[in-house]
Amino acid sequence: MSGLVYQGFMRILCLATLTLTLTGCIARTAADIVSLPVKAVSKTADVLTTSQSEADEKRGRAIRKREECLGKEFRRAKQRGTAPDYDRCPEAETPR
């Protein structure tokens, strides 16, 4: 008889432990499912928009590229003994 009581106690203990464990797992899964659309929207917004720092970096690269071209044109003209043709260098685009 005591064996049956022990088995019953062990079943109840296992079920209680399993229930508590699964409750946490289910809650975490539910939280992940609820937050998934928010994460997707924020990722899309990050991809589609340009931050101010990114725009500044792009503008800085364009200015450096133009200055490099102007320097090359100046050196080329000096070597040839002619006036530099700065129209050969592209203008640095301004951000919108």
- Which pLDDT tens digit goes with each residue over 7-41? 777 778 777 776 766 666 666 776 777 777 777 77
Q: Quote the CA–CA distance of 75 and 67 in Å, as a whole number.
A: 12
pLDDT score of 89 more than 80? yes
> pTM surpassing 0.85?
no
Q: Does the residue 31 lie in any domain?
A: yes
Residue 66 and residue 35 share a domain: no
- Which pLDDT tens digit goes with each residue over 36-88? 777 777 777 777 777 888 889 999 999 999 999 999 999 999 999 999 998 98
Residue 2 and residue 36 share a domain: yes
Residue 34 and residue 2 share a domain: yes
